[in-house]
Amino acid sequence: MAGTLRSRSRRNLNAVETPAADPFSDKTFGVDSPSSDLEIYSKEVLSALITDNLPPTPSNFSLYFDRLLEEKSETLRKQIISMLELEESNDAESTIVLEQNLKKGFSSIKNILVVTANLYKNMSLMVKILDKRKSELGELTSTDTISTLVGSLDGDISKLNTILKKQNSQMKTIYDETAEIVKNVENETIFDNQYGVYNKRYLMTKILQEVKQVAEFKHKSSLIMIELSRTLKESVKNEKAIMLMTRTIARLLLKTSRRSDTVAHYGNGVFAMLLKHTDITNAKKTAERLSDLVSNSNFFLGDREIKIQISIGVTDIDSSGHTVEEILVSSMDGIEKAYLNPDLDFAVSLRDEAN
């Protein structure tokens, strides 16, 4: 190849110029004019990335989105930031609280170890005192001298007993404080260690967040709930095997989910998958795909081969203003509908129908 290589030019992000031409015009996309300043600004960010020969990956888009916004008017910045706050969760704040509780927990554990060491030290001291007094008693013959020595020993034991009671009280106080810290840490966690997915607390937070976004931006999302077939559980009647099959379902949910999906354990072996920007039609396709994936995963219990079966409930999240609890109930109602029809692996339940 003849000629010299040209280096890619990079945009000075501190002195951004508005692109002269927008390659992503409304005509190109075949849609009407953008309905919000956020759409206009997002197209400008994407255009800037292409102009600078940068791939429009999420990290690059995020970088340009934040930096280009600094050059905009205060009014536009406030407007866009208020929109973005609907997407933001309190994960950072939760992480701070969690770290603070963990540090308190480590400090309490250290205090427990210190008190335990002092207890051991005092117990060892008591053993030495007893051994010494025992040796002295063996050398004495006078009753009065023996009585005096016993009185001295009683005083030593009484003093040590007072110290031990105090340290025991300290141990109990520190233990109670540590137990409370552990409880607080547990309340701040977002992960279910048993199944390797998010927990119910995180799920509820994400659904509430999505409800607010749907109300603002008028898109549609969906929620599906999945559980191991009750008929299958009744026929297996082996808790360990049921647990292993349930964990298999959790792994398959993670395998088939998108990055934008939230997979969580709702409780008692029931899982949920929050499908953002997914209407009922596409949510049904997801349910079908999940059902096919699970049905092709067999489980062996001894010499017995078991076909894993699940039941799925599907519901929508739109701008109707329903609560998180109503959405969850509707999705669970879909599971019940699926059970009523043995030929169905999943069923759709809209909230108004579930109430």
The Cα–Cα gap between 340 and 4 comes to 72
Q: Give the CATH number, domain containing residue 251.
A: 3.30.70.270
Residues 255 and 261: their CA atoms lie apart, in Å, by: 11
Q: What confidence tens digit (pLDDT) does each residue in 3-26 have?
A: 433 333 444 444 444 444 444 444
Distance CA(297)–CA(247), nearest Å, equals 12
In Å, how far are 116, 118, 120, 124 from 127, measured between CA atoms?
17, 14, 11, 5
Pairwise CA distance, residues 277 & 352, whole Å: 20
305 with 342, same domain: the answer is yes
Could you give the dihedral angle defined by the CA atoms of residues 334, 338, 339 and 344, in that order, rounded to the nearest 10 degrees? -170
* Whether residue 202 sits in one domain with residue 321: yes
End-to-end CA distance of the chain: 70
| Distance (Å, whole) CA 199 – CA 271 | 9
Q: Residue 124 belongs to what domain range?
A: 111-188
Q: Are residues 182 and 119 in the same domain?
A: yes
pLDDT of residue 218: 85
230 and 180 together in one domain: no
3-state SS of 39-100?
HHHHHHHHHHHHHCCCCCCHHHHHHHHHHHHCCCCHHHHHHHHHHHCCCCCCHHHHHHHHHH
Shared domain check, 232 and 341 = yes
Q: Let me know whether 347 and 206 are in one domain.
A: yes
Residues 271 and 220 in one domain: yes
Work out how many domains the chain is built from and give that number: 3
Distances (CA, A) of 338 to 223, 231, 254, 327: 15, 12, 23, 17
pLDDT of residue 34: 41
Q: Is residue 203 domain-shared with residue 263, that is, in the same domain?
A: yes
Q: In the numeric block, which tokens belong to residue 210?
A: 């999505």
Question: Do 215 and 166 fall within a single domain?
Answer: no
* Residues 270 and 227 sit within 8 Å (Cβ to Cβ): yes
Of 69, 84, 99, which one is at a domain's C-terminal end?
Answer: 84
Residues 166 and 212 placed together within one structural domain of the fold: no
The pLDDT assigned to 133 comes to 74
Give the global pTM: 0.67
Q: Does residue 100 belong to any structural domain of this protein? A: no
End-of-domain residue from the set 127, 159, 188: 188
Confirm whether 90 is domain-assigned. no
Tell me, yes or no, whether 133 lies in a domain: yes
91 inside domain? no
> What's the rounded Cα separation, in Å, for the pair 307 and 305?
7
**Mean pLDDT for each 10-residue chunk of the chain (355 residues)?**
40 45 41 61 92 88 88 86 70 65 79 82 82 74 73 80 85 85 79 93 93 88 96 90 94 90 96 95 94 88 86 93 93 94 87 52
